[in-house]
A and B are shown apart, each in its own frame.
Chain A
Amino acid sequence: MSIKETIDFRKQVIEDVLEVYPEKAKKNRRQHLAVKDSECSSCAVKSNAKTVPGIMTARGCAYAGAKGVVWGPVKDVVHISHGPVGCGYYSWGNRRNLADGEIGVDNFVPFLFTSDFQESDIIYGGDKKLEKIISEVVGLFPNAKGVSVLSECPVGLIGDDIESVARRTSLEHGLPVIPVRCEGFRGISQSLGHHIANDAIRDHLLGKGPAREVGKYDIGIIGDYNIGGDAWASKKILEEMGLKVVNIWTGDSTMEMLQNGHLVKLNLIHCFRSMNYIAKHMEDTYGTPWMEFNFFGPTKIKESILKIAAQFDESILEKALAVIAKYEPLMQKMIDTYRPRLDGKSVMLYVGGLRPRHIVGAYEDLGMEVIGTGYEFAHKEDYEKTLPALKEGTLIYDDVTALELEEFVMKLKPDLVGSGIKEKYVFEKMGLPFRQMHSWDYSGPYHGYEGFPIFARDMDMAINSPTWKSIKAPWTK
C-alpha cells in the first residue's frame, strides 16, 4: 500500500469501528481517533475529556495517579490510603517502583497502610480515626520522615477535614503530615491525581528541607518512578557523565529529595505528564531550569546525553562523549543480534504518561515501526509532542476503548502490541505477541544503556516465542 492508501484505509478503520456505538458515544469517540497525514489537520485528537460511561476504558482515577504513581514510590514516608480498604489493596505492591532501604524501618514502599473505613466512619466522619492512626504510625515507625494522607472517594463526600487533622498532627508529632485530596471522583482520569499530588508536594514540602549547597553538577530526575529499576539505569549514565543525581522524583525517593527538589542546577524530566507541574513551578519560583530527556534506545540516549551535556561545561561534554563511545559498541552488538530477528516488524502501543512517544525510538533502533499509538490520560501538549515522532499513516487513539483497540489491532495486524495488564491477555488469546509496557511485564529496566539490551531481548522473546506456533491444533481447519 502507498502512504495515501494506508492513510485512507486506516481512516476507514476508524469509521468502521465507530459504527457499533450509539449516536452520542459515536460523536464523542470520533474526536479521539485520528490518522497522522501530511496536513495533520485531522490528527489533533481530542484528549483529557470525560470517558464515555459504560464502555471499557483502561483509565483509572485521581487516587491512582496520586498514590499509585506519584506518592507511592517515596520510600521513607508512610502513605495512608484513607478510606475503605479496596483502593489501597488494589494499588499495593503492583507498580514495581523499586526502592532500596530497610523495609519497615526507612522503606515503606511494599506496605499498605489503610484506615479501613467502616460504616460508622462514613456516618460519623473519619477525622478522629485519622488522628489516632497518625499517632500509631509515629509510634510503630519512628524513622518515618513523614506521613501522606491519600483520600479515597468517601472522604471528600462526607466532608472530612483532613487538612486540619494534618496540621494538628504535624505539630503534635513534629513531622510533616501531608493531606492529598485525590478522591477518585475528581477529574476524569489519573491525570488530575498527578496534578493534585504535585500541588501537595509544592504546598507542604518543597523548599522546606535542610539547607544544602548546590554543587555545580547537581541534577535531579523528575517523573521517573523506578519501574523495574529504570531510575537507577538512568542515574548510572548521568553519573558516568560526571553529573551528580541528588534527587529522584519519586522512584526510590526520600522526603528530603522532595523538599530539596529545587536545589539543583538542572531538573531532567522523564514523565512530563505526571510531573510537569512541579518542574514548571520550580523554574518559576526558584529559577531551577528543567528539560525533557529520553533514555529509551541508543539513538535517543545519545541525543539526550548530548543535549544534557550542552547545559554544562566542557568537562561534562568530554565525559559524555566517552560514555557514548563506551556503550555504543555494546548497543551495536545488541542491534546486530536482535535487528535481523525484528526488522520490519510493526508495533501498536497504548500506554500512559510518556511511553507512547518516548519508546518509539527504541523500537526504531531495532528496525521496528510503530503503526499505532495512544495515551490513557494525555493532554493536548502530549499529543503535540508525539506527532513529530510518528510516521505518516500512524493511527492515533486517545482513551481508546477495549473494543476499539481490539478492532484496530485486528485490522492493522501488528506483530506486537504493547499496553497494560487489562489488555495483555485479550491479545495473547488472539495469538498476538504482547508486552506490558507499564510494568515492563515484570522485567526491566528498559531505561538507559543497561535497559536497552533487556528491552531488545524482551521484544524478541515476545515476537519470536515458539509458543505462538502451537496455537492451532493440527486437526482443526
Chain B
Amino acid sequence: METKTKATTAWLNTVEYREKNFAREKLVINPAKACQPLGALLCALGVEGCLPFTHGSQGCTAYFRSTLSRHYREPIAAVSDSMTEDSAVFGGQSNLIEGLKNAYAVYNPKVIAIFTSCMAEVIGDDINAYLGNAREQEAIPQDFPVAQANTPSFKGSHITGYDTMLKGLIDCLATPRQEDKINDRLYVVPGFDTYPANLREYKRLLKMMDAPYTLLPDYSDVVDAPNLGTFELYQKATSISEMNDALNAASYLLCQTYSTPTTSKYLASKAVPFETLSMPIGVAGTDKFIESVAKFTEKDVPEEITMERGRAIDAMTDSHQYIHGKKFALFGDPDVLIGLVSFLLEMGGEPVHIVCTNSTPLFKKAMESLLASSPYGQGATLYAGKDLWHLRSLLVTEPVDMLIGDSHGKWAARDANIPLVRVGFPITDRVNLHRYPIIGYSGVINLITMIVNTFLEDVDRNSPEAYFEMMR
C-alpha cells in the first residue's frame, strides 16, 4: 500500500497532486456531461404538441425535468412509464402500453417521443415490438405517431441523445422524400443548444435574409414561455406539417457538428442535401452561417446584416484591449467550445486549458487545427475526456485570468480565484443568460459584454483607492 499523504488544500494545489490526478484511469470526478435521454427530452420539446416519454425508471424523468427546469426557470413536461423491479424480470412492455394509454388520454399529445433510460436498455426491451402491441391493444390509435430513440446513458452524452431523438422524430413524422414534392425550405437544425435566444436569433437572421425556413427542433417558446397568466402544456414549436415535410426539405443546415452526426447520416441515406457548420459563435462562424444561407437563397446578403456585422466588429475593436493577451480556460460541449475558442482567437484572447469531457476524435482534430491556425492558440491544450477536477488542477498550477463554462465550474474558479463567465448548460445560479444569444453578430456583442465587464468589475472591486478611476 502506498504511503498516504495527508491531504491539505495546499497539497491539492501542487504540481505533484496534478500529476497524481491526471494519472487517474477510471474514477471520474465532476464530469462536464450529462446522459443521453436529457438531450432526447430537450429535442422532443421542440416539436409541436410532442410529449416526451421515458421508457425506464421514473426517477430518470424526475431528474431530467428538474435539471432543465433549474436552468430555464420554466415548467418542463415529460412522463415516464415508471418501470420497477417486476419490469426487470418481465420486461417493460406492460408499463409501456399502460403508460402510452394514459399519456395519450390525459395529455392529448400530437405525437409522443419515446426514449429509453438505462433499465430498458440493459434488459434489452424491444420498443418497436411493444409499440405494435400497444396499437393492437388500442392503447393508442393505429395511426398515432410515436417517435423512438434508443438513448442508453452508458454511451455518448446528452448531445448524442439529442441527435438520436431528432432522427427518430423525423423518421416517425416525415413522409418519404419524393423528388416532385421537394419544398422550398431550408431546414435549420440548431443542435443541442440550450439558448432559446440562439434559436430566436437563427429565425431572425433567416427572416432578414428572406430565406424560407423551418427551425427543427424549435423549443424556444417551450423553454422561454411568456407569462400570460395561464399555463399551457404545449407551446408553439416546429409544426407537425413541417415535420411531415421534413424529408422533402430543399436542404438542411446543421448548425452544430458534434450533436448531429446521426441525423446527418440519416439525411444522407434519404438523399436529402445538407450542410454541416460549426456553431456560429464569433464573427467567422457567423459569416459562414450567413454565407450558407445566402447560397441557399441565391440572394445578396441584405445590408442590415452587413450593418449588424459592422456593429459587432465595432464592439470588438472598441474592447479588444480588455481581452487581448488574457488567458482563458474553457469547458463544455464540443460545438460550444469550437465556437468560443474561435471567438477568443478573433479577439486576441489566449485559450490555455480546454476541457471537453464528451470529446470525440473528430472534435479533437478540429479543435487542434483551429488552435494551430492562430498565433493566439499556440499556448492551448485540449484535454479530451477530462473532467472538472482535472480542470481544477490545471487552474491552480497553470493560472489563467478567466474560466468560461457552466455553473458547475464555480468551485474550480473559486479555488483558482478567477471569475467564471457562465456559458453553456446548466446555468443554475444566474438569471436570464439563456435569454441572450451567444450566436450570430449579436452573440459576439453579448459575449464581449459578459467577458469584458466581468474583468472590469473585478478591476474596480479590487483596485486600491489611488488607482480607482472613472474610465476603464
Contacts and interface: CB of A to CB of B under 8 A. Distances in A.
Given A59-B62, A89-B31, A471 B227 contact: yes
Contacts of B153: 84-86, 117
Contacts of A472: 229
B102 A83 contact: no
B81 to A, nearest CB: 4
A122 B152 CA distance: 11
A121 B154 contact: yes
B12 A105 contact: yes
Given A111-B30, A422-B62, A54 B101 contact: yes
Interface residues of B, number: 89
Contacts of A102: 8-9
Interface stretch (A36-44, A139-147, A247-255): A139-147
Nearest to A402: B77
Given A112-B31, A184-B57, A92 B103 contact: no
A53 B98 contact: yes
B235 to A, nearest CB: 10
B29 A111 contact: yes
B9 A132 contact: no
B331 to A, nearest CB: 14
A471 B229 contact: yes
A468 B14 CA distance: 52
Interface string A40-72: 000000000011111111111111100000000
Nearest to B6: A142
A86 B231 contact: no
B470 interface: no
B118 A60 contact: no
Interface stretch (A19-27, A238-246, A282-290, A447-455): A19-27
Interface stretch (B65-73, B172-180, B191-199, B335-343): B65-73
A431 B411 contact: no
Interface stretch (B20-28, B248-256, B268-276, B321-329): B20-28
B118 A83 contact: yes
Given A90-B67, A105-B7, A116-B31, A429 B75 contact: yes
A198 B293 CA distance: 59
A209 B229 CA distance: 56
Nearest to A439: B70
Given A56-B79, A421-B66, A430-B231, A185 B5 contact: no
Contacts of B67: 89-90
Given A139-B20, A140-B20, A140-B24, A153 B119 contact: yes
B35 A85 contact: yes
Nearest to A86: B35
Interface in B34-76: 34-38, 53, 56-60, 62-67, 69-70, 73-76
Contact of A173 (B1, B65, B66, B82): B1
Contact of B105 (A22, A63, A425): A22
Contacts of A207: none
Contact of B76 (A83, A156, A422): A422
Nearest to B77: A56
B228 interface: yes
Contact of B75 (A52, A153, A403, A422): A422
B223 to A, nearest CB: 10
Interface stretch (B84-92, B212-220, B360-368, B397-405): B84-92
B5 to A, nearest CB: 6
A376 to B, nearest CB: 9
B66 A94 contact: yes
Given A50-B82, A118-B154, A430-B231, A61 B58 contact: yes
A248 B34 CA distance: 32
Contacts of A426: 75, 231
B466 interface: no
B57 A185 contact: yes
Contacts of B79: 54-56
Contacts of B122: 122, 153-154, 157-158
- Choose among A22, A50, A186, A421 the residue with the greatest number of B CB atoms under 10 Å from its CB: A421
A367 interface: no
Given A21-B105, A85-B157, A184 B229 contact: no
A56 B51 CA distance: 11
B33 A59 contact: no
A129 interface: yes
A136 to B, nearest CB: 4
Interface residues of A, number: 91
A330 B193 CA distance: 50
Contact of B102 (A25, A86, A112, A132): A25
A323 interface: no
Nearest to B64: A90
A260 interface: no
A117 B154 contact: yes
A63 B57 CA distance: 11
A85 B84 contact: no
A119 interface: yes
A284 B455 CA distance: 60
A136 B57 contact: no
Nearest to B57: A184
B88 A157 contact: yes
B335 to A, nearest CB: 19
A446 interface: no
Interface string B113-125: 0000111001100
Interface in A443-477: 471-472
A85 B38 contact: no
A70 B100 CA distance: 33
B139 to A, nearest CB: 9
B262 interface: no
Contacts of B87: 185
A89 B59 contact: no
A114 B106 CA distance: 37
A154 B118 contact: yes
Given A55-B102, A105-B7, A115 B154 contact: no
A259 B229 CA distance: 52
Contacts of A24: 98
Given A55-B102, A153-B122, A154-B122, A406 B231 contact: yes
B428 interface: yes
A172 interface: yes
Nearest to A64: B59
Given A22-B102, A58-B62, A94 B154 contact: no
B227 A53 contact: no
Given A21-B105, A84-B154, A104-B12, A62 B59 contact: yes
B31 A20 contact: no
B7 A152 contact: no
A152 B154 CA distance: 11
Contact of A61 (B9, B20, B57): B57
A89 B99 contact: no
A87 interface: yes
Nearest to B231: A429
B58 A51 contact: yes
A425 B75 contact: yes
Contact of A143 (B6, B24, B36): B6
Contacts of B230: 429-430
Contacts of A172: 1
Interface string B408-448: 10010001000000000000100000000000000000000
B294 interface: no
Given A54-B53, A142-B4, A152-B118, A85 B231 contact: no
A273 to B, nearest CB: 17
Contact of A60 (B31, B58, B154, B228): B58
B83 interface: yes
A412 interface: no
11 contacts: A50-B82, A59-B58, A84-B153, A85-B153, A89-B35, A132-B26, A136-B27, A140-B17, A153-B119, A154-B118, A185-B119
Given A59-B59, A86-B37, A153-B117, 6 more contacts: A25-B102, A56-B78, A111-B30, A113-B29, A154-B119, A190-B59
